[in-house]
Structure 1
């Protein structure tokens, strides 16, 4: 699209009106290009700042990982080491495991003794780590809460069972008892329960109901079997040892509290005396005692280091933000900003050029407007297409307006000419001013009034002020009135006219408008039906719709003319006048009446075989029928 220039030739004023004043240019502060430029600059600055921040954050994170200060991405290494410590009582065979983890992760893995800082295992040679900060401490009895929260029972890994490990026969027996107890709770007590198997092999039944009567129902209907709450012979000695260790931890205060430790290692406070320690203190002593009891069953703690396999010195960072680096970052950011401004200015000018062409085309006088070329497929091309469509529709409306004015003038000219001719003849004494003359004048005035009434109805429909006044109406009465009113015309033309109504339907609609609608259809059918033919009117309510059918055996309508049937002032036979062919407004008004009631009209016709018109209106029934 070419951009109109300010210095080019200006169109001459037209005779249709004064030349429109040229529109002022858009102020620079409101320019689309300036706003686009500002937005791009803002986005670029934000992108540069975000990139710099991301670079600094990423570099800092890499440095922290090299120094062993973070193990967020190496949880699998920690988990493997914890699993090994649970399954072994020392670290003598850990080297193959460390080597395998190092090959899979690409990291250097080192285990050091926490006291002497001597190497326990090392996946590859590298810088000494005696003074470095460890990534984590591997101890299944003192888990890192940030790395192993999913398996915590306080700070002890739940997989560490030590002397509380049950044999296969014991596992099977207690599971069978738990299944029977769960079946009783579900089937007899009506509770929701599930079996929970602890790492040591002991099974328990957990009730999931939040009902306060759950415990009462369990104790009354399904008492807990002794096997689920009493220790096996192999558990008696470890539980007694744990209880002794707990009493030793409590010291003299142990005499004022009566504790019990279940086979599931839960603490129960049975009785307290004045001066007894708190329940929290008692549980802390139980945990400390369990920690000491299980120490002999797991490997001792070690320090874990996970570093970069290529690092030469874990104490030095591999990247820095010196003054030179900062200047280089600033230079690159400035270059990116400059390129962004240049590209934005170029793109903005290409965007504004077709918009200016559209604005100039819109300012052209109506009679000299031409379609603007569509050169792109983006939003601006879509706007140009919409502009051209709008101009095309406006031209169509203008042609329709001119045609309608011509049709209205034609329809009004004939009766007005006849009235004037008769009046001038009577005034000149050429025609007597008798009753016959008055009847002719009245007839022409009536025709003129009909045209005006039809035009008024169509104008109301176009303005949206076409209204109906629905009320309970017996359809049979309305159709009978229409048939009786047109019987005289039908008899004079030698046409048989009949009307049929199935049942006695009563619906809510405007009776006057319905009579007008059906009357227009019947009148149109009578005008196009030759002598010896017939016109039938049929009405019925089917599937909540009022269906009125007007059928004739007239001349019919060709397939090419059917789409134009509801055009205003259109007649199938152009030679017909208003007296012989109607005004061409009856069917458009009938359709508007049907649509005002929420319905519509359809037409089926064949030349020489007649026309069948169907009106469908919503049948809203009143409260009570007749």
Structure 2
């Protein structure tokens, strides 16, 4: 209503000019209703109907809604009834509506639709347009929802099918990543999971196969010796018993190594922690390995500090150093040299073991710590190796929070270095 009243600027101005102070209240307009209608028609035209002759016939029904009021708010001319919703605008001299300058008001009622045929037709047209617009909006929304749902449901169904495939034990299926949103990231994670499960399954099969193979050799030796004794082919002399004992010890070592690797991810692998002197542990390991070094004609060189305190499991760290020294004695050509060094740096204790040729090929170095891996399988098995020694070393070192690496040695052979934190967190 307030917006409509702004259109009556000309009418308000002309009413102010037509006002006579000597006879206030526009008596000429009050005495003759036709005069009011003519006055309104002369100074106001409905929007969109500049040539309309009858105000009362305009679509906005201004003639039935507009009224002229005096200063007291009493009707002078125009619409006789006031609806529940209305607004009014003051008529002032030269648009100054200070106290005492108001001449009267024009009042505009809210429109009330009649039941005329034209009004009913207009309303039906509006309803039809609204219904058509709502139908178009519904169809567009349904189409958009279908496309969006299709874009979301298709990758979800592919992920569902992939999950069922993984659950059935088939890890070879991959999903094409053709999206860059969150679902695309989920597909990428699925592919990584499938690849990880495939590698784990393959490693498990290899682990079981290699374990069975390694256990078979000492068991076969023991069986052959026992059957030979039963058949009387061999006598239970010192030589036979020594061979049987060697096979049994190899089997025991293998079972112990398997046990360590099985528990490598459990806290129980490193259970007896204490403050130990790494120099003392290394010296004991060298003395234990010295007969093997002398038999293999290997010279031992040690470079130790006076002391190197360390928080560790003494038996496990001694096992690591012993395994590394035994590998050197087993695989280094005679005559040769072994260099064992210990030092402290950046809060870590460092242990390095170098030997002379033969050297390990560069492409083999990254796999030296894999379970059952042998750089030369026949030679390793002939010398009593199972391919688990370095894997055991890695498991023990990592259980202490350390790291072990292999590289080419300055002496021409292999260098194995491992680091241990001086104080465990």
TM-score normalised per structure 1: 0.46
- RCO greater where, 1 or 2, for CA within 8 Å and sep 6 or more? 1
What secondary structure is seen at the aligned counterpart in 1 of 2:302? strand
- 1:414 and 1:402 map into 2 onto residues whose CA distance is 19
* Aligned length, in residue pairs: 327
Q: Provide the residue aligned with 1:593 in structure 2.
A: 396
Matched, 1:407 2:369: no
Residue in structure 1 matching 2:273, options 456, 470, 493: 470
- 1:604 and 1:486 map into 2 onto residues whose CA distance is 22
Q: Provide the residue aligned with 1:443 in structure 2.
A: 246
What do you get for the CA RMSD once the two structures are aligned?
Answer: 3.8
Q: Provide the residue aligned with 1:549 in structure 2.
A: 352
Matched, 1:453 2:253: no
Q: CA deviation at 1:544?
A: 1.8
Deviations 1:478-505 (A, max 9, x none): 1111000000000011011233321212
1:122-521 correspondence runs (5 A): 130=92, 332=133, 335-364=136-165, 365-367=168-170, 370-463=173-266, 465-521=268-324
- 1:607 and 1:575 map into 2 onto residues whose CA distance is 27
Deviations 1:389-445 (A, max 9, x none): 333332222222222222112211111111000100001111111233222211111
Q: Provide the residue aligned with 1:277 in structure 2.
A: none
Kept after mapping to 1: 8 A contact 2:354/2:411 = no
Q: CA 1:66 to 1:437, structure 2 compared with 1: closer, same or farther past 3 Å?
A: farther
- 1:315 and 1:580 map into 2 onto residues whose CA distance is 115
| Long gaps (5+) in structure 1 | 1-59, 68-126, 138-302, 304-312, 622-626
Q: CA 1:338 to 1:497, structure 2 compared with 1: closer, same or farther past 3 Å?
A: same
1:579-618 correspondence runs (5 A): 579-580=382-383, 582-605=385-408, 609-618=412-421
Q: CA 1:520 to 1:65, structure 2 compared with 1: closer, same or farther past 3 Å?
A: farther
Q: CA 1:336 to 1:571, structure 2 compared with 1: closer, same or farther past 3 Å?
A: same
Deviations 1:366-404 (A, max 9, x none): 359633444444444443443333333322222222222
- 1:321 and 1:597 map into 2 onto residues whose CA distance is 89
Q: CA deviation at 1:454?
A: 0.6
- 2:5 and 2:304 map into 1 onto residues whose CA distance is 92
Kept after mapping to 1: 8 A contact 2:409/2:415 = no
- 1:563 and 1:360 map into 2 onto residues whose CA distance is 37
Kept after mapping to 2: 8 A contact 1:496/1:535 = yes
Kept after mapping to 2: 8 A contact 1:547/1:614 = yes
Kept after mapping to 1: 8 A contact 2:218/2:248 = yes
Q: Provide the residue aligned with 1:535 in structure 2.
A: 338
